[in-house]
A and B are shown apart, each in its own frame.
Chain A
Amino acid sequence: MRTDTTSLLQRLGQRDFRYREFYDAFADMELWPIFEALLADERVVGKPMSLLAKKAAEMPVEDGRRSAVRPITSTPPPRDQGLFTRYADPAAAPERPAEDLRGFLRNLSSKNQGM
């Protein structure tokens, strides 16, 4: 802490700062034009759903049929699933064991020498 800050706190009889948090509820937030522009940008929010797609999304899934609209999920992969199993297509390529970075670089180096 800077000396001028320390002396100010001493004069105020405080040992440290207290931080006041300012908060705006969503309803109080101004919709700045840049926010509006982002909310209208398909690269940010995707394509607007058609009425039919909206209806399909709202309907409960019955008799095993899946909704045409995939819900957005943000659950991380289970711990035991491993880093790469999410991306590997087991039918397309055999599963490779994970290696560490040094092993990878060693292999890269030996491959380069063989080229």
Chain B
Amino acid sequence: MALLLCHSPKGGVGTSFIAAQLSILLAERGHEVTALDFTYQDALKLYFGLLPAHKLPDMASHAGEATVVSGVELLSAHEPARDPAFARRLSEEGGAKPFGGERIYIADVAAGDRDTKALLFPHALLHICPLHPRPGSLAALPMVQPGTPTIELEKTVFVLNHLDDTHRFSRHSHVFLRELVGDRLIGTVRRDEAVNEAAAMFEPISRFAPNSVALADLVRLAAAVEQRCGIAKTAEAQP
């Protein structure tokens, strides 16, 4: 159905966290979801409650075995993305279209891995760019998609993660981004220590802290992504 590409030009802004939570929430909303971890850090699985030692099946070589958590199929894609044949086939004119079918693929790509980001971008229905309300993150805005002004990126949407209304610069960053990119700021996720604590406990936020404000924001974000992509299920299909 769709590839949703999660990548930010600045590391440490919660891209893996956003990718994982979107995967879980879209699965809860009735979609078939595969989360692809393209990062060397291999941290996506932590947000699914898996231990660091757990080895995810490789996207290219897994034969039938699957790691499915919270209704999401998890695959490691770091090594396959470095196969020159993978890049060649994805980038050739009129080439492969591997993200068809009914399934939603959510790719978690590290900030510094611009090659993989460039490779996947043409295939993505939506590019989700998480940001922090901090100068270091905002300063990376010119680098979202080099060659195209950030405000003209039609399939890029932004998520302001770690928003803290009690801090002035955080509030002002929110207003600034809203003015700059308009409705392409599709969500904000408030800073909530429950997110860290849930990950440290290897538990989903919904179980560890069901009243978490971050969780409520993420639910809104998932609905906004559905709407943006035109993939919202009917009300009857939702749990």
Chain B residues close to A by CB (< 8 Å): 1-3, 34, 59-60, 80, 83, 85-86, 89, 93-101, 103, 105, 122-123, 125-126, 135, 138-139, 141-143, 146, 149-152, 154-155, 165-166, 168-169, 171-172, 175-176, 179-180, 182-184, 190, 209, 211, 213, 228-231
CA distance A19 to B83 in the complex (A): 48
Chain A interface residues (CB < 8 Å from chain B): 1, 16-17, 19-26, 29-30, 32, 34-35, 38-39, 41-47, 72-74, 76-79, 83-84, 87-88, 92-94, 96-101, 103-105, 107-109, 111-112, 115
Cα-based distance from A83 to B80 in the complex (angstroms): 22
The answer for the CA separation of A7 and B98 in the assembled complex, in Å, is 53
B150 in contact with A105 (CB, 8 Å): no
Q: By DSSP majority rule, is chain A's interface helix, strand, loop, or mixed?
A: loop
Residue in B85, B165, B175, B184 whose beta carbon sits within 8 Å of that of A108 in the complex? B85
**Cross-chain contact A105 with B60 (CB below 8 angstroms):** yes
Extra inter-chain contacts (17) besides given A17-B211, A21-B165, CB under 8 Å? A19-B190, A24-B172, A32-B176, A41-B141, A43-B146, A43-B150, A78-B230, A83-B125, A96-B95, A97-B100, A98-B97, A101-B99, A101-B103, A105-B80, A108-B83, A111-B85, A111-B89
- B98: which A residues are within 8 A, CB to CB? 99-101, 103-105
